[in-house]
Amino acid sequence: MSKVLVVLETTADGLRSQSLPGVTCGQEIAAKTGGELHLLVLGANAGTHAQAVAAAGYGAAAVHTIDAAALDPFTAEAWADAIVHAAKTLGASHVGGTATSSLRDALPRAAALLDAPLVAEVVEVKSGDTFSRPVSAGRALLDLKVSAGVILFTARGTEFEAPAAGSAVAVSAIAAPALDTRGVQVLSVEKTASARPALTEARVIVSGGRGMGSGDNFVHLERLTDQLGGALGASRAATDAGMVPADLQVGQTGKVVAPELYIAVAISGAIQHLAGMKSSKVIVAINKDEEAPIFQIADYGLVAKWEDTIPRLTELVAAHTSA
């Protein structure tokens, strides 16, 4: 029986919600191959986090752990070694997870060590060896058929719903192998403190583009964002211009998001940006250029200057939430 191994990521607070779409993708692969779903938790305290995962089950046959100090803080090199060791130990036919920044880094290395193919950014599982993925900045979908003893994959988190919890399963520890960071040293980890949700986990995102004029003007978007309880985003043009930090970028080379509500302000809608947000449930576009491409995918569009709309919209939202 084939085994589908999905790699999970955790934080000090527990399982990262971003890992769950990868579990759903793994479930679909297991269903189409008649195989078993297995989950893998890595880290310096993997056993503790694995207990909570095992309690939810998510339809897996078991939750496995590799516990080693070299796995925390994250380095793609050490994680690749651990993933390869787990795949060989379990005899996995498929290995993957959500296409987060970490697994986009680690899984290609694991694929190279296994001399195996990697199907990146899967949006649909057609069969155990055939997957759909976006190409040409999301303008087309490619069905990719691969043939190999082991297939690695990353699942686009915006295209798979989080799985429902199931029956509890057992936790099985895998002895840690020799982990080689190949000279990589993490000197420090700088985290941005924010009361707002992470971009990839927010239900509401308000994004600004180069049309905002300057970084100082983003304060107007921040006020609206906070009234909506959402996250602040930006186009690549805005981040490249230094208006806001690069970690706010939404797009092909930034974060790929699919919130319930995405408000694009002064963003023209270049294909690079659309690739990162077009799966949003409801898209609202505000732009003074009525020919802006963003209006082609928007559910609601307003042709107007942001200066004339955002302050008033913020007032209306504030009045509604306080009522």
Report the predicted TM-score, pTM, of the whole model to 2 decimal places: 0.90
Residue 97: other Cβ atoms inside 10 A: 30
Contact 114, 148 (CB under 8 A): no
The distance between the two most distant Cα atoms of the chain, rounded to a whole number of Å, is 62
Contact 242, 211 (CB under 8 A): no
Decide if 180 is inside a domain.
Answer: no
The β-bridge relationship of strands 3-8 and 36-43 is: parallel
Decide if 152 is inside a domain.
Answer: yes
Contact 55, 30 (CB under 8 A): no
228 and 299, same structural domain? yes
Decide if 192 is inside a domain.
Answer: no
127 and 41, same structural domain? yes
312 and 220, same structural domain? yes
Decide if 194 is inside a domain.
Answer: no
Decide if 186 is inside a domain.
Answer: no
110 and 22, same structural domain? yes
CA distance 72 to 252: 28
What's the token pair of residue 226?
């906070």
What are the phi and psi torsion angles at 237 (to 5°)?
-60, -40
131 and 223, same structural domain? no
Contact 142, 132 (CB under 8 A): yes
226 and 118, same structural domain? no
Counted domains in the chain: 2
3-state helix, strand, coil in the chain (%, to 5): 35, 25, 35
12 and 105, same structural domain? yes
315 and 257, same structural domain? yes
Decide if 191 is inside a domain.
Answer: no
Instruction: Report the first-to-last Cα separation within the chain, whole angstroms.
Output: 58
CA distance 79 to 107: 8
Q: What is the CATH number of the domain that holds 32?
A: 3.40.50.620
119 and 214, same structural domain? no
Decide if 189 is inside a domain.
Answer: no
40 and 127, same structural domain? yes
Q: Which of 128, 157, 173 is the last residue of a domain?
A: 173
- Divide the 323 residues of the chain into consecutive groups of 10 and give the mean pLDDT of each group: 95 91 98 98 94 97 97 97 98 97 97 98 97 91 96 96 96 96 92 84 96 98 97 97 96 94 97 94 98 97 98 95 77
Decide if 188 is inside a domain.
Answer: no
252 and 115, same structural domain? no
- Output DSSP code: residue 151: E
Task: List all residues 6 or more positions away from 65 whose beta carbon is below 8 Å from its beta carbon.
Answer: 40, 41, 42, 46, 47, 50, 171, 172, 173, 174
238 and 282, same structural domain? yes
CA distance 45 to 10: 10
Q: What pLDDT does 139 receive?
A: 85
Bridge partners (DSSP) of residue 122 are: 155
Task: List all residues 6 or more positions away from 251 whose beta carbon is below 8 Å from its beta carbon.
Answer: 235, 236, 272, 273, 275, 276, 277
Please provide the size of the chain in residues.
Answer: 323
Q: Tell me which residue range forms the domain holding 313.
A: 199-322
